[in-house]
Structure 1
Amino acid sequence: MAQTVQTAEAEESYGLSEITVTAQRRTESVQTVPIAISAFDSNELSTRGITNALEVTQYVPNLVGINNTGLGSANSYYMRGLGNTESIPTFDPPIGTYVDDIYLSRQNANNLSLFDVERVEVLRGPQGTLFGRNTTGGAVAVFLKEASQELGGYAEAGYGAYNLWQINTSLNVPINDRLAVKVSAYVQDSDGYAKNTVTGERQNQNDGWGVRLGVKGDLSENATWTGSYIHTFADGANIANFDCNPAAPTQCDGRYVTTGLRRDGNFGGRLSGKKDNFGHFVKTTMDFISSNLKLGNDDLSVSLITGYVYTTQDYALDFSDGRSLPSINVPITPVLGLTRGGFVVANEGEFSQFSQEIKVNASIADGLLDVVGGLYYFEEDNFSDFADLLTVVSAAAPAPGGNTLLLADRTMTNSTKAYAGYLQGDLNLTDQLKLTAGVRYTDETKRFSIRDNRASCKDGTVEATCLVDSNLFVLSGRAIPRSQNIKIWTPRFAINYQANNDVLLFASATRGFKSGGWNARGTSPSELLPFDAEKAWSYETGVKSELFDRRLRVNLSAYWLDVSGLQTPSGFVRANGSIGFVTRNFADYENKGIELEVNAVPARGLNVFASFGYQDDKYKVDTTRPILDAYGVQSVGEQQRRCLAQLASGLVPGGDATACAQGIVAADGTLATPVRTPKFNLAIGGSYEADLGKGLTLVPSVNASWRDKSEVGTSNVTFYDDPVTSTGGTTYANNLLGKGPRIAGSLSKARWIANATLTLRSEAGWTLSAECRNCFDQEAVESTLANLEYINPPRTWLIKGRYSF
């Protein structure tokens, strides 16, 4: 009878799994941490079919993730409105990426393949106290599976759309009772989903491979060491492509590219260095080394955390698809198939970083005070050899050859050294009430140097247009500094109230900052302007709850984010047809929002989830600022006044109203809508484990994410099909003011993206699954660069088998 009762109780016992996180640099349940966190363990990642870091972003409220323009290996995250699409190393992202507590400073290779991963944590809001610089928007933290004392592993193989095939494998081997190693690897190859109708090649493939060696040693009762070495290679791009063939607009049955720049092409001696032989590709490697030596016990421990990351990225990217860039008269430009591309950036980059952290965790006075503190050192050295080319067509130089102009060819080095100390304490006043206070002090120095690779700038007579350190002056004669230093305190305050065993209430105030830098995309010395650090305060309150015997989890948070000196990058088309870039601290920024996450197990085997985000954001401009700043750049307030005056006089934005539709001033003279901040966003989904008997389980899983309309271009430039005439008598074929049908541009319409997986599992250790991503092949504009659209990937499918032992 006792056995019968115990069996019945076991059958009735089910609920949500507990996820432990280290968001406060110590191990805790996600439900006890006073921070807005979305956490996914390995089972949840598998159930939702998540295979890389970018796919995680679909399920996090108020987080938008995109592949950077051109770069398939690079993710740009926009969390609570803060993000950055730049990959050049004088810019830092405001969303930090971490692997096993090691910060990845560059966005070039942060679209991590999630093989052999224990969990992913997405921390929303500034994390300046415990994680430091460049986390004003939040952090994405990936934790790899540690080696263990159990012999085992798995092998997995799959085949999918666009002739994709992939193999993943992992093997865990205990060496003795104190030492274990884990070896993991993956390889994948595909044809690419976009067809180049000019060259016949396939583009936007997803090729690459990676290996990882993980080691764990239990050196003694109070000493543990874990270490990892990872090497990855990615050959993947996010080249601009179109759902209808630009050369035959009625052909809309795939994705199309029309540049004449080939993957095996070159620039015929026009560029210096090895980048002259780059074709239309993006190739990225990363070597990652981590070491964590932990000494002590639960009451007092010291961790020595060491990291080294070396990344290379070589590419040549045609940002105008082998033709002219869009304009108000010709928003859809004719196909030219230029053999050296339309507007091309060729880049050779090497980026190395080293970090050392000493972290102390302590519990004092029998748990009255819990403390985490430490010292942190970070050093980074970067090398970039890059050039900009523009091909123009004339009667004397017709397509497809044209006349290729070298706009700039330069080599840049930049470095960062940062020292920091941090301390945070949790005062457990009662079993229910906890007060938290912490602070971090950072001292950071950045340096920048540039030299011109063009022959005329290396013949002993430096021309005024040469991109060299001695020419770094603006037109007023003011020198552009080649070093920056910031010393800053970033505190955090929080209060927790555990209403009962199931409900936690919290409120917090946190400060963060993002480093300054230089506008290194400039093609003349006066454009290489510095910009200052971005600083943020976030005020947040929320509730975390687990109800009905842990069968329902509801987490709700509300925040107010106040940012000063927002770093705003903007791309524009110069008079010669090339793309110009400028980044300044143009404005302040405010974002107020709500985030809700629900997870439930209403019946045995049935798991459902939903997340919801709302945000209301805006730029804030001080209209009393001087007309020109110290470097001669016009203030936004003055630009807005000029734009409104031009519109009042009957000039046309995008045409002769030159102050409009530039920077963060929209075509109608208002401040632009901040990018990638849909007012509403939603994700829903679920899975069900059906017992088929004989050791077999069938698991169908479906999920979908909805994103409200949003702007994806800084100036909010969208072309509409209705002509407009200026008071000067010029008639423009289209307009930027919303009159007529939409043609192309920054406005991204609301869209649903649905995914599904069907998995058959056996107790014998094998698994078969079939999945689709973007199952209904929905298209959405993810980004624009100089008004050229970049859209999301098409529908894909994958069938794979796995055997675990």
Structure 2
Amino acid sequence: MSGDIIVTAQRRSESMMRVPIAISAISQDDLAKRGITSTAQLTGTIPSLQVNSPYGDSQPNFTIRGIGVANEHNPNQASPVGVYFDDAYIAARAAHGLQLYDLERIEVLRGPQGTLYGRNTTGGTINFISRRPTLSGTSGDVQVGYGNYNNFTAQGALDTTLVKDVVGLRVSANYAKGDGYIKNIAPGQPDLNSTNSVAARAILRIKPDDKLDITLKGTYGRSNPTQAAIYDLGTGANGFNPVLGTSRAAKGLGFFEVDSARVGRSFIESYGTELIVKYNLNEAIQLTSLTSYDHLKQAFSQEGTGLESPVFTQPLDTLYGNVFTMFNQELRAAYSDDRTNVQAGLYYGYDKDASDSYYWLFDGAAMIRQKYDQVRRSYAAFTQADQKIGSHLSVTLGLRYTHDTGRYQNYEAYQVPASAFTGTRDISAFSPASGTYFFGGYDAASGQLVSGPTLKLDSSALTGRAAINYTFDDGKMLYASYGRGYRAAAFCGQCFFGPTIITTKPEQVDAYEIGAKGRFFDRMLSLSLAGFIMNYRNQQINETIGTETLLRNVDKSRIQGVEAEATLRPAKDLKLNLSGSFLDATYQALQLSGGDLSGQRLPYAPRWSASGSLDWTMARIGDGTVTLTPSFVYTGLVYFTPYNNLAGNVNLHQNANTKINAQLSYNTAHYGVRLWVSNLTNAKTFADGLDERASFGYDYLIQTAPRTFGASLSYHF
């Protein structure tokens, strides 16, 4: 009774229950039923997956099995969880805050993926897969919705066949706009964490015969919400901030309220294109070429205190400006028959981050500008073979060699006099001629900036995977695997006082995993289990010293755990999904300025997490069905810093909590009505936190959304 879910985790179509990898897949319909509309809301829906960010829904940070960017929030850093959109690697983390619309599914591969997805995948891979044209007939859908906080949404898709079985076009779009869900009591200022986005996608597919299949995709997206609210919790008694001279309690602020002057916005605009050409030489051999280009502009203006102070109106005010250019080219050849599957390929990746950021500190008492261009290139060759031995046993062997180059160039960092401060985010005040330079300089005779020297950082690695699996006659499978993952060496993104400590070593993970998958009770129950041990070296993390953030390496960490996923369908009208994980992720050797952190837990790695949903068709009325879909996500204690609770970091964590969502819908073949609620119990939780005690006397925390609810209407044709 439980149908197959077809995935392409190994770059070929196969049942998820036959892939010897810890993999989860979630469809667009499942996302809607759980109330998930953006990648930032995926926390806990997949075993061992956490999504955190100090920027709200913008620039989410993915963590799988405790491996993520940790407390490193600079946009120039590559995520150790490789994020792909239709198999194309997306380097810029600001592009990871996708609006989830018109997708076929999301595939999440847990653990290092060192062969087929080899670029920066020490933690795993997330692949967002679009719906493609069907090449048959015309179909589509339109949906509009409205919720509290004046939240209006609209989305639609049209799939049309231009030449039957040969040429098809699918276009889709998504729009969302709403007020901020964090109330701002500052006079004349908007509420925070608003919604303001538009996105569109067009896919042209040409399949002139059984040999050739061409897919051309174009995308556009734009978002400009108010910044994420900052819940600043003073480190003194009762949350009193000795620097700001006040506290949240003294102002009578509720949990979902702030007092933020000069609110910023998280502006992102992107566009891109992708071309995938597949050609079947014969029934056994297929050639594939993937080419993609993406461009993204990011401008995050941020007031960084959350309180309007009688002493300092704006102790921390920033404008992070970044322009990303990304390119991928991959060539693959695949051979497949009844017993053997072999893939081999070459990959080239390029990305550039042109960064230009401004810092107004203590009402302009310190005004700093920082500029640089970061250019990264990645070259790789890979191959993977899957061989069936006898009728039950199969082995997998994959290898990938990667060479990465990094260049940090056109670097300038300087401070201008406080007298230039205008009381606004006026960047014209940052005159290079009046600057005191930390790095780089100014030639008065020519009136030109003099950049610092180009810094180079190259790294290489041999990664891969070896696995063995045994499949029983009834389809149940046992597997064991070893995998090695790698993340390239990196530059520090906010070391504006000089290049003394700005680079890190490449990361490496050795992972050992055993697992089992199968169906039971006449296919009524589908079950997947995985146990793993991972040795993690040179994790790249942040260390904040005063007002500067430095990039460090962790010598050694050990991560071990167990994951489970189950789907039970006891009756035609009832389906239950459950998943959970136990994770023990600790530092074995880590020395920071605050002391020895060996034995501390990795941030964003809860010991226990679980999620579940129930699809219950309650009644059939007329031509339609009434379905109730409640769901929950449980997340254990999460630390936001490697220090855990040491060195006064008592506020930088989120205690264990449960979020409950629900949906009630009525659907016919053409119409649908949906009522939904998210965070039903109005749980008060934090998504992230930063230590600003040394600079401003408070801890910087980011609230998650309160209870939200609404309704939508849809039409399918």
- TM-score (normalizing by structure 1): 0.80
Q: How does 1:415-564 map to 2 (within 5 A)?
A: 415-449=375-409, 450-452=411-413, 465-467=438-440, 482-564=455-537
> How far apart, in 1, do the equivalents of 2:33 and 2:379 lie?
41
Query: Alignment partner of 1:136: what SS?
Result: coil
Pair 1:468–1:134, CA change in 2 (3 A)? farther
Query: Alignment partner of 2:208: what SS?
Result: strand
Is the CA contact (8 Å cut-off) linking 1:536 and 1:563 kept in structure 2? yes
The answer to whether 1:17 aligns with 2:6 is no
The answer to whether 1:159 aligns with 2:146 is yes
Q: How does 1:84-163 map to 2 (within 5 A)?
A: 84=69, 85-148=71-134, 149-163=136-150
Pair 1:455–1:539, CA change in 2 (3 A)? same
Is the CA contact (8 Å cut-off) linking 1:425 and 1:436 kept in structure 2? yes
Which structure has more strand as a fraction of its residues?
2
1:336-384 deviation per Cα after TM superposition (whole angstroms, max 9, x unaligned): 4954x22122122100111111111112xx5332101111111112201
Residue 239 of structure 1 aligns with an amino acid whose one-letter code is A
Query: Alignment partner of 1:677: what SS?
Result: coil
> How far apart, in 2, do the equivalents of 1:202 and 1:289 lie?
35
The answer to whether 1:694 aligns with 2:622 is yes
Identity percentage of aligned residues: 24
Q: For residue 229 of structure 2, what is the aligned residue in structure 1?
A: 239
The answer to whether 1:372 aligns with 2:343 is yes
Q: For residue 156 of structure 2, what is the aligned residue in structure 1?
A: 169
Is the CA contact (8 Å cut-off) linking 1:357 and 1:376 kept in structure 2? yes
The answer to whether 1:209 aligns with 2:209 is no
1:58-114 deviation per Cα after TM superposition (whole angstroms, max 9, x unaligned): 211111112x21253211111111111545344111111111001111111212111
> How far apart, in 2, do the equivalents of 1:411 and 1:293 lie?
39
Q: For residue 620 of structure 1, what is the aligned residue in structure 2?
A: 588
1:763-783 deviation per Cα after TM superposition (whole angstroms, max 9, x unaligned): 3x1000011111111112322
Pair 1:86–1:312, CA change in 2 (3 A)? farther
Is the CA contact (8 Å cut-off) linking 2:182 and 2:258 kept in structure 1? yes
> How far apart, in 2, do the equivalents of 1:498 and 1:337 lie?
69
Q: For residue 356 of structure 1, what is the aligned residue in structure 2?
A: 329
Q: For residue 426 of structure 2, what is the aligned residue in structure 1?
A: none
Pair 1:695–1:488, CA change in 2 (3 A)? same
* Bigger Rg over Cα: 1
Residue 260 of structure 1 aligns with an amino acid whose one-letter code is A
Residue 305 of structure 2 aligns with an amino acid whose one-letter code is S
Is the CA contact (8 Å cut-off) linking 2:465 and 2:482 kept in structure 1? yes
> How far apart, in 2, do the equivalents of 1:673 and 1:167 lie?
42
How much does 1:194 deviate?
1.3
Residue 145 of structure 1 aligns with an amino acid whose one-letter code is R
1:419-444 deviation per Cα after TM superposition (whole angstroms, max 9, x unaligned): 11110001111221101101001111
The answer to whether 1:295 aligns with 2:295 is no
Instruction: Return the match for 1:681 from 601, 604, 609.
Output: 609
> How far apart, in 1, do the equivalents of 2:268 and 2:212 lie?
36
Is the CA contact (8 Å cut-off) linking 1:481 and 1:530 kept in structure 2? no
Is the CA contact (8 Å cut-off) linking 2:232 and 2:306 kept in structure 1? no
How much does 1:289 deviate?
1.1
How much does 1:242 deviate?
7.3
Is the CA contact (8 Å cut-off) linking 1:617 and 1:674 kept in structure 2? yes
> How far apart, in 1, do the equivalents of 2:255 and 2:144 lie?
26
Q: For residue 583 of structure 1, what is the aligned residue in structure 2?
A: 551
Task: Name whichever of 116-125 and 676-685 sits farther off.
Answer: 676-685
The answer to whether 1:750 aligns with 2:662 is no
Pair 1:506–1:201, CA change in 2 (3 A)? same
> How far apart, in 1, do the equivalents of 2:542 and 2:327 lie?
28
Pair 1:759–1:468, CA change in 2 (3 A)? farther
Q: For residue 400 of structure 1, what is the aligned residue in structure 2?
A: none
Is the CA contact (8 Å cut-off) linking 2:137 and 2:160 kept in structure 1? yes
Q: For residue 701 of structure 2, what is the aligned residue in structure 1?
A: 789
Pair 1:587–1:389, CA change in 2 (3 A)? farther
Instruction: Return the match for 1:286 from 270, 278, 283.
Output: 270
Q: For residue 342 of structure 1, what is the aligned residue in structure 2?
A: 315
Query: Alignment partner of 2:43: what SS?
Result: helix
Residue 643 of structure 2 aligns with an amino acid whose one-letter code is S
Q: For residue 716 of structure 2, what is the aligned residue in structure 1?
A: 804
Is the CA contact (8 Å cut-off) linking 2:38 and 2:57 kept in structure 1? no
> How far apart, in 2, do the equivalents of 1:230 and 1:24 lie?
25
How much does 1:318 deviate?
1.9
How much does 1:617 deviate?
1.6
Pair 1:434–1:468, CA change in 2 (3 A)? farther
Query: Alignment partner of 1:517: what SS?
Result: coil
How much does 1:408 deviate?
2.2
> How far apart, in 1, do the equivalents of 2:331 and 2:151 lie?
43
Residue 131 of structure 1 aligns with an amino acid whose one-letter code is Y
Q: For residue 193 of structure 1, what is the aligned residue in structure 2?
A: 181
How much does 1:681 deviate?
1.0
Give the length in aligned residue pairs: 672
> How far apart, in 2, do the equivalents of 1:290 and 1:248 lie?
52
1:556-605 deviation per Cα after TM superposition (whole angstroms, max 9, x unaligned): 00000111111121335x2xxxx321111132111010001011101111
> How far apart, in 1, do the equivalents of 2:382 and 2:322 lie?
33
Residue 681 of structure 1 aligns with an amino acid whose one-letter code is S
> How far apart, in 2, do the equivalents of 1:798 and 1:459 lie?
51
How much does 1:492 deviate?
0.8
Q: For residue 473 of structure 1, what is the aligned residue in structure 2?
A: none
Is the CA contact (8 Å cut-off) linking 2:537 and 2:554 kept in structure 1? no
